[in-house]
Amino acid sequence: MAAEQSTGLDPAAARLAWRATEPLHGLIYFAPEAHERYAALGIPEPMGYFASRAAALGAVGPGPVAATFYNFNPALIARALPTAWSRTTPAAVAAARLAAADAALTRGLGEAIHGPEVAEAAQLARRAAEDAAAHAGGRALYAAHAELPWPEAPHTVLWHAQMLLREFRGDGHVAALLVAGISGLEALVLHAASGEIEERFLRISRGWSRDEWAGAVAALRGRGLLAPEGEPGAAPVLSEPGRALRAEVEASTDRLAAPAYAGLGEAGCARLAELTRPLSRTVVQAGLLNPASVLSTAR
């Protein structure tokens, strides 16, 4: 961990840049442009999600994907892979994903995609994404995606760079969860118990049954990470130790993500956030991150 902290950059600066920019990448999991392109290849959702995000790994089976994605039910993944690779190729899916991002951003941002703000943000994000390569050890999803070719248009460069930074951060988050002894399903339960996101969305989109979810709740209560059971039907809530553990995991994730942004410095991180915050707000307002689109296909 010390090597990851030696950059001198406040991890909060890196987190600011990532959070402000993430909707510009995250829309790929919600936008109909993506669902339509995957379906055209014969891999409707949720098969399209797993194939598109795993395409950089090659035509792998469910094992490596379950391990690296971490919080999805392996049975859900096994229904998608390797079947998807009998219908299409990783290269075709990767191309469809980029085309979908291009189309969704064009629709969501309109003429703003040609503005100087997008071009400048793309340069900053690309520098961070490329600098991350010096810290790729142990980060399988980032390393695989880093071998994909860079697109040319500034808005797709921005999307591609943020995708790399998201996988870089995600790989670090999985490492932090492993150190904390939290499984993928348990991480989802703790997230829902924080009140930040609905249980239903996490449970259904990740393919977990009610019984499996209840089993994880019981296990976490047994460890003292969830408060004792309250009124019948009441949603689980974090205990004080649970809140402390989640805060520790998030802090570790921030520290592990910071090296990618060290070259930007705090001023560069703040500038990237300044440039992308209004762009992200625009795509959210355009409805490009609607959770209902995921729930409708997670079957």
User: What is the DSSP secondary-structure string of 45-89?
Assistant: TTHHHHHHHHGGG-S--HHHHHHHH-SS-HHHHHTTTTGGGGTS-
Whether the pLDDT of residue 170 is over 60: the answer is yes
Q: What pLDDT band is residue 3 in, cutting at 50, 70 and 90?
A: very low
CA 149/CA 131 separation, integer angstroms: 16
Whether the pLDDT of residue 142 is over 70: the answer is yes
pLDDT value of residue 6:
54
The rounded mean pLDDT for the chain is 95
Spacing of C-alpha 70 from chain mean position: 11
Q: Percentage of the chain surpassing pLDDT 90?
A: 92
pLDDT value of residue 53:
98
Inter-CA distances, 248 with 18, 241, 254, Å? 19, 10, 10
Q: What is the pLDDT of residues 251-287, one digit of tens each?
A: 999 999 999 999 999 999 999 999 999 999 999 999 9
Whether the CB-CB separation of 246 and 190 falls below 8 Å is answered with yes
pLDDT value of residue 191:
97
Residue 101's contacts (CB-CB under 8 Å, 6 or more residues apart) are 25, 27, 28, 33, 34, 156, 159, 160
Query: What is the H or E stretch that residue 35 is in?
Result: helix 32-40
Q: What is this structure's pTM?
A: 0.94
